[in-house]
Structure 1
């Protein structure tokens, strides 16, 4: 399969929607201009693979729009979803030789992509970016550890409620106040895989939350969090 064509607008950093939240947020205008010179914009269709587990680490990227999944495969070929990445998240392994996980778009996505060797060189020459990279990495490590501990202690209702709240957070919706509507980027089977549940359990919990007024389910993929406070109480 041919890769989606990559383009570089003349000055795409100037209009970047996630610039203030991305890994390049602390760079000055001169540094942004230099980074702009080595970056490319790329569109991904839902289902398109960006990186393959175990391959040479050729690219790194910032997510501008869309949601992508990180996954690994067991010896028998079963996929394990390791996490999701959202707008302003950073993808790839700077200073590494191989890619530790596969990366696939689960919605249509727009990313800013860099050749890893170019990005590594730029990071070494610009300590503020290197510091931001370390800060972001440690933050993601803390998030992952916290999520693992919580999932290990939660029952099914707590897991599903926590997942919905986490998704609203990562999509930037929980600051808006009131009911929050979004489209689930994962199928119910994928949600079950992430949470360590069966698809039947996920469906039962969503139905229960709907029947008890915490959420609405306008369609199979659409969710409205009607009562976030109730969901937080359920999540524990």
Structure 2
């Protein structure tokens, strides 16, 4: 019997998957209980401490993963060793590119992170067997494309203050999407990484953080903990329509 083709009642969904972030809104949200049972047989949950690499640029891809908790930093390295942060991923994003044998980026845990990993061959097979999974991955790819285009605008046209506010708005609206009205979070990147991500100097990032704090747009505690009292004010500071 092919369990991928014969759904079972949702009550048979593996207990570990029922309250999982990815089950609610990520890749696994499109799977039936039977498909979840099949996938769960091959899954391994990994906890990765901040600063540890998950996969390096140019390495062979042996597995993919659902991000369950934390922030992952994506970067690319040039031939001369220079490196650029090109994106961030949050729960419940899918980490990896189906059918891609070699990683084109380096993925590193920016914060303490938890991911649920699956062997590459299992996901590649399921993508072919489960049309909803293929559509979900396609939708994520299009979302990432739209976000990359928005970030090109941020880097190319926005002022330093708008860039810093855009970064903070990105974190505020992704790190805890269920509490966007009064977001509170620890910065997932160092000042140096934020500067790299925004194409600014560390001093400029610090000055703009201070200005946003003095204007009451954000509250900063212990240098890393940020509170956003009103997301609309931060959105306005970021120059987002």
TM-score strictly above 0.5: yes
Q: Are 2:176 and 1:172 aligned? A: yes
Give the root-mean-square deviation of aligned CA atoms.
1.5
Q: Are 2:201 and 1:192 aligned? A: no
**Off by >3 Å, runs of 4+ in structure 1:** 173-176
Alignment match of 1:27 (pick from 20, 28, 31): 31
Asked whether the 8 Å contact 2:173–2:180 carries over to 1, the reply is no
How many pairs are equivalent? 226
> Which deviates more from structure 2 when the two are superposed, residues 75-84 or residues 191-200?
75-84
Alignment match of 1:223 (pick from 223, 226, 233): 226
Alignment match of 2:74 (pick from 70, 75, 78): 70
Asked whether the 8 Å contact 2:180–2:231 carries over to 1, the reply is no
Asked whether the 8 Å contact 1:213–1:227 carries over to 2, the reply is no
Asked whether the 8 Å contact 2:57–2:105 carries over to 1, the reply is yes
Q: Identify the residue that residue 147 of structure 2 maps to in structure 1.
A: 143
Asked whether the 8 Å contact 1:23–1:136 carries over to 2, the reply is no
Residues 1:176 and 1:230: Cα distance change in structure 2 (over 3 Å):
closer
| Unmatched tracts of structure 1, length 5 or more | 1-9
Q: Identify the residue that residue 182 of structure 1 maps to in structure 2.
A: 185
- Distance apart, 1:85 and its partner CA: 0.8
Higher helix share: 2
TM-score (norm 1): 0.90
Q: Are 2:57 and 1:53 aligned? A: yes
| Unmatched tracts of structure 2, length 5 or more | 1-13
- Distance apart, 1:29 and its partner CA: 0.9
Alignment match of 1:209 (pick from 207, 212, 217): 212
